[in-house]
Structure 1
Amino acid sequence: MNSEKLSELEPMIKSKYSNINGIVVVRNGYIAYERYYNGYGPNDAHHVASVTKSIISALIGIAIDTGYIKNVDQKVLDFFPEYIPDAADRQKREITIRHLLTMTAPYTFEDWKEPLDKMCIQPDWVKYTLDMIGQKGSVGTFKYSTAGAHLLSAIITRSTGKSAREFANERLFKPIGMKEIPNYEMKSFGFEDLFGKNVKGWVKDPNSNSTGGWGLTLIPRDMARFGFLYLNRGIWDNNQVVSKTWIDESTAPHSETQIEEAIAKYGYLWWLREEEAAFAYLALGDGGNVICCIPEKDLVVAIASEFIMNPRDRWTLIKEQIIPAVID
């Protein structure tokens, strides 16, 4: 990579992206650039918000690869036999894992206006979400749902007998050298515990399901490791951790939504960007937490950020400052 071009990153981050606390750029499997800001260092874990969803996607793939789950077309209610839907609610019975992965399950709320705070005050988040799913919406229409991703975490637990955290430690994090995520007791379920300064390890709901849509804390290097695993089509040290088929399926377009002026394409809990600069797939979290994979450049960019409202788009930084530094 062009070191002169990369040297322009630091002043740009400090002036325009000041909530970035850590950035790791991996090219051809090697760290090409790594910097920390605002008093943070390489061992400081960050709450990566909705980046958690892309980790859940990988875990679903691993659970399918290892036979715990049949396939993405398995019905969601198969995993919750104790839940009896209303006889008239036929739509709920048809919802599959694929619908949850592609954000195409129907809900009552408007897109991008999910009442997540309501779920967080329930004693049973899974039942609340199952009640909400399938009502007054059309199957196949994109509707972003963090509660839907939480159902996927519960499905991992129902099928494997382990929380998503335990399953990830064993089948994903340990095999690729990521730090083990410890089990922290949740003292309460207030805002700071679920989303704020008290978030540690991997948040869980009142029934000990790891949160599926947010709540995971990672160090930037481990974010980059996960991205590199995907860039390397699931192989780590000659070990197939996630199947190539799953990675190809996950990073292909399955649904789309309008965001401002543009159409955004979506895979299995991964965002897709196709522009002249490059095709990329991204795990995106609130506040500007990103794992960006650009296969044709053999490039991974991991960015850990402090949560702020409406941060500058990280894709602009990647497209204008990092991709041009790649020497083909």
Structure 2
Amino acid sequence: MRSHVCLFQILVAKIMLVWRYLLSVWGRQTPARDAGMLIFDRQCRFDMPQCLDPAIAYTSMMSSFNLVGPTRKNDLTDMLRILATFFCLMIASVGQANNQPVETPLHMAALLGDLSAVEKHIEAGTDLDQRDDFGSTPLIIAAVFGKVEVVAALLAAGADPTIRDDQGSNPLHIAAFLGRVGVVEALLDAGADRYARSASGAMAYDYAAAPLTEENVIFDQLRAGLGPLGFWLDDAEAAAAKPAIAQMLRPAAGDLRDIDFTPVKRDDFEVSTPEAEGLDPVLVAELYRDAQALPRLYSVLVIKNGKLVAEKYFNDGAIDSPTLIQSAAKSIFSAFVGLAHREGCLPDLDARVMDFFPDIADQVSDRRKSEITIRQLLQMRSGFPWEETDPKFWQLLLEGDHLAPLRELPLVADPGTAFNYSNFSTDLLGVIVSRACSVDLSEFASEQFLRPLNIQFGDWIRGKDYHYPIIHLTPRTAARIAQLYLERGTFEGKQVLPKDWVASSLADYSDDAWVTTERLDHAGRYLGDLGYGYQWWQASVGGRRINFAWGHGGQFYGLVHDLNMVVIVTAYPAWQEHGSENWTHERAHLNLAGKFISLLP
């Protein structure tokens, strides 16, 4: 209880800090100003250094709003930082009041909804798109605080609705996120781009149509911190507004009129139409219209009832161009293990991994590694770390000596106790299949997997015996493999993969998949409640449960079982590129697929 009281006192003190700062730098001396200063001075103690300096107060306020960050470091907390920044930006604008032609600074006027002051700025020729140190414009601040009349006035006077703040969000994203119907209407009337994506890879539609449960926590934080300055947000009202906003943000009929997604007719896939297979062609057209705005997208394919009903290629993608599928290859390596199990090479999935590496058993210092099983590798429950969190681990993986990571990679959990994504786990599976079956893995894959499916890989980056899951596929080859799993391992009437293996692969063994704050945001807004099988993901989307293979860059092979449908998305693979821009594009591609699946009845 005491900790809650302390947190409340800190929050109150920091709000008072900013209030004092506002009072100290804005406008002439008034009774209200004097009263506010008195209240502040009685709240602040001499031993609180943040009370002494406006610059420290500014930093302190930023820190107070970032306290929510650890709860979930995704696009929601990004938005929180954006909104907290708006508040601090407003303070920076106030400090420039003496240099403005109008008494009230434009950013402050936008926050207060002071239409008269805004109109004076317009008449005086003030730059309506002026950005403060954090990239916020008056239009952005007006959108945050729901000042519809100010938004309309700024837009009518030529304010740019496409400008993004330094966090990569524009006014339309923010208004949709907060459920500001009037602001959204004004922005759309002024030509705001409904297809523009934020730094979280989301369109404004996605913020309205796919709210996340954590938003209530963030809204509470916003009300607590910004309420004294006039920020209002009613949860029930926002929730009721978002479906209407989402409908407003759907493409207009004219936007879909010329969208062509007719598949190419060839022998490798039977072709049909959405209508013939019971799929709404308008929803399919919307999928491809959304796709047009994605600069790193390569292809989108939709297969319904085993027939290719929609197909289109973008940017550097092409029908016969194999591209790196990144970690979607893990789902293929899972198939290799299943085939080895069927052939009797790997009869026991609970066999100890170290049994296949007697040559280094005495070199492994962590005895827990002797308990790791093949099944745990398949389920990403081996305890090995996600190598990309540490450059040393990643370099060790790339060097190609599969025995070195087995010796040197530290375990981050006891085997079998927790999900932890690990590239090395998949590498080991390839080595184990090769050793158990006494065969070159590429030859095994060709004989047992590729020939029965009448497909071939593009480049397969060669480690020792092709153990690396670094494979290039064409989009149609990816679709054939996904269809194999959708049809429980059969292809043209032949059981290529054992039916029980497919079922086990698509089951869910971890409801804590990707639970760390650094990872959750990578899945976008639609793929929720992530689970993991044998190198296949699970997610809830629009009320249904799907399986999918997932690779960096936004490679997505989705299995929508209840609709007998496969959705393929391929994109620029961003090999060894892990900066924020790459995750932005990856989330955008996942949101593309997620939105489409969520809209299907």
The interval holding the TM-score normalised by the smaller chain is 0.7 to 0.9
1:13-45 Cα distance to aligned partner (Å, 9 max, x none): 121x32111121100000011111114321000
Matched with 1:203 is 461
Counterpart among 378, 391, 396 of residue 101 in structure 1: 378
Q: Amino acid of the residue matched to residue 36 of structure 1?
A: Y
Give the Cα–Cα distance (whole angstroms) in 1 for the partners of residues 436 and 591 of structure 2: 40
1:195-243 Cα distance to aligned partner (Å, 9 max, x none): xxxxx611122x333303xx10000001011110000000112211111
Q: How does 1:1-328 map to 2 (within 5 A)?
A: 1-15=279-293, 17-86=294-363, 89-107=366-384, 109=385, 113=389, 115-121=393-399, 124=401, 126-132=402-408, 135=411, 137-139=413-415, 140-179=417-456, 181=457, 201-205=459-463, 207-212=464-469, 215-255=470-510, 256-257=512-513, 258=515, 259-260=519-520, 263-308=529-574, 309-310=582-583, 311=585, 312-322=587-597, 324=599
Q: SS of the counterpart of 1:10?
A: helix
- How far residue 53 of structure 1 moved from its aligned partner, in angstroms, is 0.4
Distance 1:275-1:9 versus aligned 2 partners, 3 A rule: closer
Give the Cα–Cα distance (whole angstroms) in 2 for the partners of residues 7 and 237 of structure 1: 30
Higher relative contact order (CA 8 A, sep 6+): 1
- How far residue 106 of structure 1 moved from its aligned partner, in angstroms, is 2.0
Compute the TM-score of the two structures, normalised by the length of structure 1: 0.84
Give the Cα–Cα distance (whole angstroms) in 2 for the partners of residues 88 and 73 of structure 1: 22
Alignment RMSD: 2.2
- Which range moves more in the overlay, 237-246 or 130-139? 130-139
Distance 1:166-1:296 versus aligned 2 partners, 3 A rule: same
Distance 1:210-1:155 versus aligned 2 partners, 3 A rule: same
Distance 1:128-1:2 versus aligned 2 partners, 3 A rule: same
- How far residue 134 of structure 1 moved from its aligned partner, in angstroms, is 6.4
Alignment check: 8 A CA contact 1:106 1:135 kept: yes
Q: Amino acid of the residue matched to residue 100 of structure 1?
A: L
Alignment check: 8 A CA contact 1:290 1:304 kept: yes
Alignment check: 8 A CA contact 2:554 2:590 kept: no
Paired residues, what number?
300
Alignment check: 8 A CA contact 2:541 2:598 kept: no
- How far residue 4 of structure 1 moved from its aligned partner, in angstroms, is 2.4
Alignment check: 8 A CA contact 1:231 1:293 kept: yes
1:45-97 Cα distance to aligned partner (Å, 9 max, x none): 01000011000011101110111111211111222222223586431211110
1:226-270 Cα distance to aligned partner (Å, 9 max, x none): 110000000112211111111111111112321437652111111
Distance 1:274-1:136 versus aligned 2 partners, 3 A rule: closer
Which structure has greater helix proportion? 2
Alignment check: 8 A CA contact 1:119 1:147 kept: yes
Give the Cα–Cα distance (whole angstroms) in 1 for the partners of residues 412 and 305 of structure 2: 48
Compute the TM-score of the two structures, normalised by the length of structure 2: 0.47
Distance 1:110-1:169 versus aligned 2 partners, 3 A rule: closer
Distance 1:10-1:87 versus aligned 2 partners, 3 A rule: closer
- How far residue 156 of structure 1 moved from its aligned partner, in angstroms, is 1.3
Matched with 1:191 is none
Q: SS of the counterpart of 1:280?
A: strand
1:170-199 Cα distance to aligned partner (Å, 9 max, x none): 1112211212x3xxxxxxxxxxxxxxxxxx
Q: SS of the counterpart of 1:73?
A: coil
- State the identity %: 27
Distance 1:143-1:323 versus aligned 2 partners, 3 A rule: closer
Distance 1:4-1:69 versus aligned 2 partners, 3 A rule: same
- Which range moves more in the overlay, 310-319 or 300-309? 310-319
Distance 1:323-1:35 versus aligned 2 partners, 3 A rule: farther
Alignment check: 8 A CA contact 2:302 2:566 kept: yes
Give the Cα–Cα distance (whole angstroms) in 1 for the partners of residues 398 and 589 of structure 2: 29
Q: SS of the counterpart of 2:435?
A: helix
Alignment check: 8 A CA contact 1:112 1:144 kept: no
Q: SS of the counterpart of 2:311?
A: strand
Alignment check: 8 A CA contact 2:396 2:405 kept: no
Alignment check: 8 A CA contact 1:202 1:217 kept: yes
- How far residue 129 of structure 1 moved from its aligned partner, in angstroms, is 2.1
- How far residue 325 of structure 1 moved from its aligned partner, in angstroms, is 5.2
Gaps in structure 1 of 5+ consecutive residues: 182-199
Distance 1:59-1:87 versus aligned 2 partners, 3 A rule: closer
Give the Cα–Cα distance (whole angstroms) in 1 for the partners of residues 374 and 410 of structure 2: 13
Gaps in structure 2 of 5+ consecutive residues: 1-278, 522-527, 575-581
